[in-house]
Every structure is written in structure tokens, then in C-alpha cells.
Amino acid sequence: MTQLALVIDLNVCVGCHACVTSCKEWNTSGAAGPMSDDRPYGKDPTGTFFNRVQTFEIGQFPNTETVHFPKSCLHCEDAPCVPVCPTGASHKRELDGIVLVDYDKCIGCKYCSWACPYGARELDEHQKVMKKCTLCVDRIYDEALPERERKPACVMACPTSARLYGDVHDPDSEVSVAIRERGGYALMPEWGTKPANHYLPRQKAHVRIHEDELVRADNPLKKERKKPMPDKDSPSLDDVTSW
């Protein structure tokens, strides 16, 4: 069985939110939209997102590091959101393993959000239905698009290629090779949900900087200060010109 998924490289994600904005743009205008935004530039903004990036600091000051952690539906192979849905709105496709929500059947009861241990479900306050990442199912099968563009919008937009996409059940796929060779892992395996999405771990990079490298050699302020400074009684530009 094919299982499409994302593999996210935490080592090169820079938290630019290109994945968030491209996801919002594509899905707002697509079959999964609209994705509402209330007070986006005002107090207490709220809205619906399929993909979010959480940024936090780890370590002890001053030796801290910034971690950017993209998060969306993980398209679990044993998705707990599916059996709890009383109307069958949440379902997992046999074709490709993508977990979707049928808005026509969803009654917004939130059972799926309570069952999901990853917090990947969101209630659309306007449509009163549960929404989540569709893996851009309306894009990846769109034959009107060039084949190279039949990927989720977030993958296409990532400037650092931190997001890979493919069949994690195909041992020769790009995502399977990355998981196998670079220590890819799934979130919270103790829940037994078998998330299809995986993450590639951050790798420590040690850079030793010598003290003299911290001083900018071509500092323009230093160059200017080498010139004789004018006396406070010297005429200014206003004194010698007739504007």
C-alpha cells in the first residue's frame, strides 16, 4: 500500500514560514478552503491553518539554540481520528494513505481533535467543520500541472529544501532513503499511531571563532574616526552655503 507523507529536515528549517503562507494560499483557494482569518492584524488574531511552525529556544543562557518545528497532520497509518468519527467524515484513503475530512459529513463535534495526540485538527469557526492538512491532494493529482509541480505547496515553497515528499513505503523513494540514512523518526511512537510523516534530527555543528574574528576589519566607523574631527567652533555646512 502506498503511504504518501512528508519528511522534514529540522537541520535546515529556518522558520521562514514560507510553507505556512504557501499552504494557506493554495488551500484557501482550493477544494479544502476557504481558511478563515479573523483580526489577522489586530488584537487576538484567530484563523485556520493546515500547517504551523513553532519556534522555541532550548538550552541554558547564553548557550541557547533556536529550534523551528513545522507541524501538521501526520497522516498516521493507524489514525486515531478515524474510528472515533461518528459520521465517517474522517477517513483514510486506501489509494495513498492520506487522511481526509469530508466536510459534507462533518458535524464539528471535535471527537477527532480529542483523539489526535498531535493537536493537528482545527475547527473552522465559520464553517463549523474540522479541518486539517490534505497533503494538497487536489494538487498532487492535478494533471494540468507539470509533473515536477505535483507536490504539496509547502514542499514547493521551502527555500532550503527542508521538506521532502513521497511514498514512505517505497524503500527506494527519496523520503525512505532520507529516513533510513539520516535517522528519521516519527513523533511519539509510544501512541502506536504510526505517523507517516517523519522528521530528520538536528545535527550539532561546532564552530570555533577566534577573538580577532569577532572584530570587523572594514568597520566604516573606525575609518571615519581616523580623520581629524572638526572643532566645535568650525563653520558647519549651513554656514558656508546659501541654501
Q: Do the bridges between strand 99-101 and strand 63-72 make them parallel or antiparallel, or are there none, so unpaired?
A: unpaired
Tell me the one-letter amino acid at 14: V
> Would you state the pLDDT for residue 243?
58
Rg of the chain (C-alpha set): 25
Q: Which of 196, 175, 172 is nearest to 186 (CA)?
A: 196
Check whether 32 has a pLDDT greater than 90: no
8 A C-beta contact, residue 82 and residue 93: no
Check whether 174 has a pLDDT greater than 80: yes
d(CA 108, CA 212): 61
Check whether 242 has a pLDDT greater than 70: no
Joined together, the cell numbers standing for residue 39 give 483580526
Helix (H, G, I), strand (E, B) or coil at 4: strand
d(CA 50, CA 101): 12
> Would you state the pLDDT for residue 224?
64
pTM for this one? 0.80
